[in-house]
Amino acid sequence: MSGKVVERFPAGGATDVDDLVAALRAVPAGGPLTVGDDRIVEFLVAFARRLLRPAVARRHPELASLGFFLRRGEIARALARVADEPGQLRFPRGLVFHVPPANVDTIFVYSWALSALAGNANVVRISSRSAGAADAVLDALGDTLADADDVVRQTQRMVTYGRDDAVTAALSAAADLRVIWGGDRSVGEIRRHPLAPHARDLTFPDRSSFTVIGAAGWLAAAEADRDAAALGLYNDAYWFDQAACASPRAVYWVGDPASTGAARADLLSRLRRVLDGKRPEVDAAMAVEKRVATYGLAVEGAATAIHFDGNDLATVELAGPDDIPRRWLGVGTFPQARVDSLADLAPVVVRRDQTVTHFGFAADELVAFARALAGRGVDRIVPVGDALSFAATWDGYDLMREFTRITSVVTR
């Protein structure tokens, strides 16, 4: 008893999952895909060009980022990481099954594009709730297909299906690699379905992130850089309702009380100006959500003060630096705490922490911080404003390496 899927790319009707797997497994007419296969590279470059069209980029700024990520130069850089070496040949893993998150509309494209670049056949489960940017992506992919090699149509598939365990089981059993985004619950749900003995999972569980700002560095920075940082914080936090794993869910101020107080007031007034210009939509339901979340912190004793500056900006004084709320508190909610030095934050960090966005520190301070963490948590330390810039290294994985396998050739 096998289930049905609806084909979204290439667009089609309902298909039997077993037929889908058979098509993905068949050797393409023009020969099997290779790592960095030209037929795929040309498709991705043409697809990126569509995303960078002004009409698309204006409506969905996050798609412009995706377009930049897939430019020819970037693709070449990604491929250089998995180039053949003497005695080491790189090959695709085979069939990759991707389960992206329902709510960040663009993650599935990054995950899929890198895997396609690695020469894999891919099947991506698209959320039936997908909307907006995800639909724009599917449209752009469909339009690009017209001029593409047939191999793309055969080996790259995006489908939707309801809660059908039979489909998940069939795709899991057929996969050489399964990629699960979307948090702890999804990982647990999907892992109930066995993989083939040689296959493995690449999991992206629940993560959370925070910002560190050096007060001295902030106060010494040029006006323009401070404005850019306020805009950067806005983009990091507000783009996906502060719910993306890389969006900061707390702000740490590093320095003495007087300078952190001054720096804080300055950042918040600049962020206020950004908000007054951008006017993010914070509806009544979200506003109530923020009250429930922040009041809850006070009830628990984690917060000592809560301040609402309109519905779009809430700040919370944390009782101490060692107890940051890692859960989602609604868009535009910034719990804050002060520490004397970056090193004081090292004990606070847990495995779940993913991205630390920073401002006002020198490179050696950040490296020393990373060394102090010793890999116990935090996978990315990036400037404020770059939290949501997807990279080929994510959650500590070098994705191109994960999507390929190595054949060693040793000669006497």
List contacts with other proteins (CB under 8 A): 99-104, 107, 127-129, 162-163, 180-186, 189-190, 204, 206-207, 240-241, 243-245, 247, 283-289, 291-292, 295-296, 298-301, 303-306, 310-311, 317, 328, 330
Q: Would you state the structure tokens that stand for residue 397, as one six-digit string?
A: 């994985």
Structural Rg of the chain based on CA atoms: 23
Q: Which is nearer to other proteins, 207 or 226 (CB)?
A: 207
Question: Residue 139 and residue 9: Cα distance in Å, rounded?
Answer: 9
Question: Residue 70 and residue 49: Cα distance in Å, rounded?
Answer: 9
CB of 222: closest distance to other proteins in angstroms? Answer: 33
For residue 62, which phi and psi values (nearest 5 degrees)? -65, -20
CB of 328: closest distance to other proteins in angstroms? Answer: 5
CB of 280: closest distance to other proteins in angstroms? Answer: 13
Q: Which is nearer to other proteins, 150 or 281 (CB)?
A: 281
Q: Which is nearer to other proteins, 100 or 360 (CB)?
A: 100
For residue 121, which phi and psi values (nearest 5 degrees)? -80, 140
CB of 242: closest distance to other proteins in angstroms? Answer: 8
Question: Residue 141 and residue 130: Cα distance in Å, rounded?
Answer: 15
Q: Which is nearer to other proteins, 204 or 361 (CB)?
A: 204
- The answer to whether the beta carbons of residues 113 and 147 sit under 8 Å apart is no
Question: Residue 144 and residue 139: Cα distance in Å, rounded?
Answer: 9
CB of 330: closest distance to other proteins in angstroms? Answer: 7
**∠ CA 183-237-217 to the nearest 5 degrees?**
120
Q: Which is nearer to other proteins, 328 or 397 (CB)?
A: 328
Q: Which is nearer to other proteins, 206 or 344 (CB)?
A: 206
Q: Which is nearer to other proteins, 281 or 340 (CB)?
A: 281
Query: How many helices and strands, by DSSP H and E, does the chain display?
Result: 16, 18
CB of 324: closest distance to other proteins in angstroms? Answer: 16
Q: Which residues contact 391 (CB under 8 A, 6 or more apart)?
A: 380
Terminal-to-terminal C-alpha distance of the chain: 52
Three-state secondary-structure class, residue 209? strand
Q: Which is nearer to other proteins, 181 or 369 (CB)?
A: 181
CB of 22: closest distance to other proteins in angstroms? Answer: 26
Q: Would you state the structure tokens that stand for residue 199, as one six-digit string?
A: 């296959």
Q: Which residues contact 248 (CB under 8 A, 6 or more apart)?
A: 209, 210, 211, 233, 236, 237, 242, 334, 355, 357, 387
Q: Which is nearer to other proteins, 158 or 287 (CB)?
A: 287
Residues making up the chain, counted from first to last = 412
- Cα separation values, 121 from 32, 141, 204, Å: 10, 16, 21
The single residue listed with the structure tokens 């090193």 is 343
CB of 289: closest distance to other proteins in angstroms? Answer: 4
CB of 156: closest distance to other proteins in angstroms? Answer: 20
- Amino acid letter, 247: S
